[in-house]
Amino acid sequence: MIQLNEQGLMNGKKEWEEAGYKLPQYDHEAMVRATRENPYWIHFGAGNIFRAFQANVVESLLNDGTLDRGLIAVAGHEAVEKLNQPHDNFSILVTLKADGNIEKTVVGSVAESLTMDAGYEKDFVRLKEIFTEDSLQIASFTITEKGYSLVKADGTRLPEVEKDFQVGPEKPVSYMGKITSFLYARYLAGARPIAMVSMDNCSHNGTKLYRAVSAFAESWCQRGLTEPGFKEYIEDSQKVTFPWSMIDKITPRPDRMVEKNLEADHIEGLEPIVTARGTHIAPYVNAEECQYLVIEDAFPNRRPELEKGGLIFTARETVDKVETMKVCTCLNPLHTTLAVFGCVLGYDRISKEMQDATLRKLVEGVGYREGLPVVIDPVVLNPKEFIDTVLNVRIPNPFMPDTPQRIATDTSQKLAIRFGETIKAYVASDELDVKELKLIPLVFAGWLRYLMAVDDNGNAFELSPDPMLSTLCPIMTKCKLGVKNDVETILRPILEDKKIFGVNLYEVGMADMVCGYFREMTAGVGAVRKTLDRVVLSA
């Protein structure tokens, strides 16, 4: 048996290499020392996408000599204590390629791992110390969009945020309160510059981070809990920036098939764990080979040459265009389309859906025929080539364990941006007619059919989590399979809701088509398949 740690890699190098693993090609101990002495990049929320993407980019740049220092990772205590530290911060990246090949890489670019969880005072002190270092250039984040919120669903402040507002930066308990306290430590150390880079998969992510930090800084300054110049420091783009970014890489939860593959290589201690928050993590991460990270080039303390690792640095306006291209046309609408119909048709893998000729033609039509005519072209990435890769490499990858059930989560919150913006562009166009859209209304009808929680065989299934289920499901229970439902009356409150679709479907002339498709799909068992075949194959 071989071990994933410093000693195991040193003593078992031959066994690792014979098993086909790419190993670090640099002096790991020297890298760790150099990073601790002069940290330049700290990352918060060091989960699967971080280990598969950012950490691996740094790994490749360490291997080719572009970098001589690595990363500092901040994660929950379970990840730090059960995964990172027992393995000396090494992890395994398993890249699942569409051609069936598996590439296995030992990633050692994380030099130090820390936690901000309550009770870890020593780590908190160390984090403040890191933020006072002049060498620190980047603090980046993959903490999910919810991580930046300071309020509850009803708009009132979270209790821990309210407490931190009143107590100040010494011992904050909220996540964003701690981040702001680290920035205050940096301010006190000479107002040193830094880029605070959200890399979360949400639009205008840098602004979300800025608003959270700024709210703390303003509250503390007003209460006299910090020096008055702290708020000015946060607002000074020569000192602190909050760049926008667009990230795209699929990193599903650790897969049992991958674990068995690694176990066959006689590696010890690879069992996944489920954290208290329900996150699935393991000493390995499985991911697709495709990846994109486009970042606004605003780094007041300079930055390493990360473009040599494939990252794209550009203007904020271009980042916004890339985000719009991906979310509104080239990826997210296609994912949602497959998710909705995959659940109703009984699929358990997105990749299997791409073997379905009708579903493949459906997403090709949504992307190429209905989306591309109004796509936002960011230039740094070609929209058609992006869709080509999505449809021919990424989604069909049979080794990617991604499910329609996962992607169907929160669909009510996604339709407005993923399809509504395309509809608006058609409405605003002098050359295009919204009546030309035949497939987007089909997806809407499919989603409504999905909300009935009955598959195409007439069997009940569990809907994916969605904040609007409590509102939508009572409406959709009025619709019965195989019954002539008063579709227009039942669906009208939903179809008129601009918050869901981005537009009132009656006002743009699309409601009748959606209702018509829905009638077909509820005619009886097998009606969804019949409707799809009729509409898609004749399109």
Calculate mean pLDDT across residues 397-404: 85
pLDDT given at position 141: 98
Residue with tokens 């005519």: 373
Q: Is the model's pLDDT at 66 over the cut of 80?
A: yes
| Maximum C-alpha span of the chain | 73
pLDDT (average), residues 217-233: 97
Enumerate the β-bridge partners of residue 74: 44, 114
Which 3 state secondary structure label does DSSP give 144?
A: coil
- For residue 539, is pLDDT > 80? no
Percent of the chain residues past pLDDT 90, beyond the cut:
90
For residue 195, the model assigns a pLDDT of 98
* Average pLDDT value for residue range 475-498: 95
pLDDT bin (cut points 50, 70, 90) of residue 399 is: confident
Residue 443 has pLDDT above 90, yes or no: yes
- Give the tokens for residue 25: 């090609």
The Cα–Cα gap between 373 and 422 comes to 9
pLDDT for 98 equals 83
Residue 527 pLDDT greater than 80, yes or no: yes
pLDDT grade for 153, boundaries at 50, 70 and 90: confident
pLDDT in tens, 272-307: 988 888 888 999 999 999 999 999 999 999 999 999
pTM here? Answer: 0.90
Determine the pLDDT at residue 444. 98
The rounded percent of the chain whose pLDDT value lies above 70 is 100
pLDDT value for 253: 82
Confidence of residue 402 (pLDDT cuts 50, 70, 90): confident
Question: What average pLDDT does this structure show over 333-337?
Answer: 97
180-184, 254-258, 444-448: least confidently modelled range? 254-258
Write out pLDDT tens, residues 234-254.
Answer: 999 999 999 999 999 988 888
Question: Which pair of tokens denotes residue 416?
Answer: 């407005």
pLDDT of amino acid 252: 83
Backbone torsions φ then ψ of 248, nearest 5 degrees: -150, 110
Average pLDDT over residues 454-459: 97
Predicted confidence (pLDDT) at residue 401 exceeds the cutoff of 80:
no
Q: Is the dihedral of CA 191, 192, 195, 196 positive or negative?
A: negative
Q: Which of 361, 439, 349, 440 is CA-nearest to residue 396? A: 349
Q: What integer pLDDT is reported at residue 316 of this predicted model?
A: 98
Whose tokens are 């897969």? That residue is: 255
Look at residue 337 and tell me whether its pLDDT is greater than 90. yes
**Counting Cβ atoms within 10 Å, is residue 155 exposed (0-12), middle (13-18) or buried (19+)?**
exposed
Q: Which of 148, 111, 131 is nearest to 194 (CA)?
A: 131
**Dihedral, CA atoms, 415, 441, 437, 498, nearest 10 degrees?**
-50
Stretch 428-435: mean pLDDT: 96
Tell me the per-residue pLDDT of 158-201, one tens digit each, with 9 for 90 and over.
999 999 999 999 999 999 999 999 999 999 999 999 999 999 99
At residue 162, the pLDDT reads 96
Dihedral angle over CA of 339, 144, 62, 237, nearest 10 = 130
> What are 107-142's pLDDT values in tens digits?
999 999 999 998 999 999 999 999 999 999 999 999
